[in-house]
Amino acid sequence: NECIELKYDMQSTAITMPKDMFGMHERTSHILQAVRDKAGNDALHKSDQKRQGLDGMDLELGLELKLPRSVREISDEGAALNHCVGGYADRHANGELTIMFLRTLSHPETPYYTMEVANDLHIVQCRGFRNNNANNPKTEEIIEFERRYTEYLKALKAERKKAKETEKKRMQKAKAAA
């Protein structure tokens, strides 16, 4: 299936019956993952335009919210925190939703919490290790961060709406003048 997806010549015995089947499978798996990562990253960078202003810091709480730089980072986040965010990577890359990484300022590269933000600018979920099961509940710090970020998203939504209305009026004036 990987060879078919990579459009290899399936009539060639070098492809269908290699001397080292395991080695060939490893190679095709790595190639295919690189192709998928590139396609996902290209889509991610296009969809990042509408995500401007979603990242930021709360110095008082010592937390930073940042966008993933690649689809691979989203998968790695899920593996590190033992939750399912890796399954959201394609939808994030395609702009259907936004995945954000919540980090402590003291350890900005260490996965801490993962947040999903809907395109209409509200928090869908914010999960830590193992989805914050009974043995690992959300801290007051995270609950407060979610409250503050919700207020920030409301303000950002209003700002974007106002900018859109201003642009619409400008276009109408330009159209009327022409």
Q: Which residues of the chain have pLDDT under 50?
A: none
pTM of the model: 0.72
Model pLDDT, residue 25:
74
Q: Identify the pLDDT of residue 141.
A: 95
The pLDDT value given to residue 124: 96
Q: To which H or E segment does residue 126 belong?
A: strand 123-127
**What is the model's pLDDT at position 90?**
80
Which burial class, exposed, middle or buried, applies to 164 when counting CB atoms under 10 A from its CB (0-12, 13-18, 19+)? exposed
pLDDT tens for each residue of 11-49: 877 778 878 887 777 776 766 665 566 665 666 666 677
From the number of C-beta atoms within 10 Å of its C-beta (0-12, 13-18, 19+), residue 159 rates as exposed
pLDDT at 154: 96
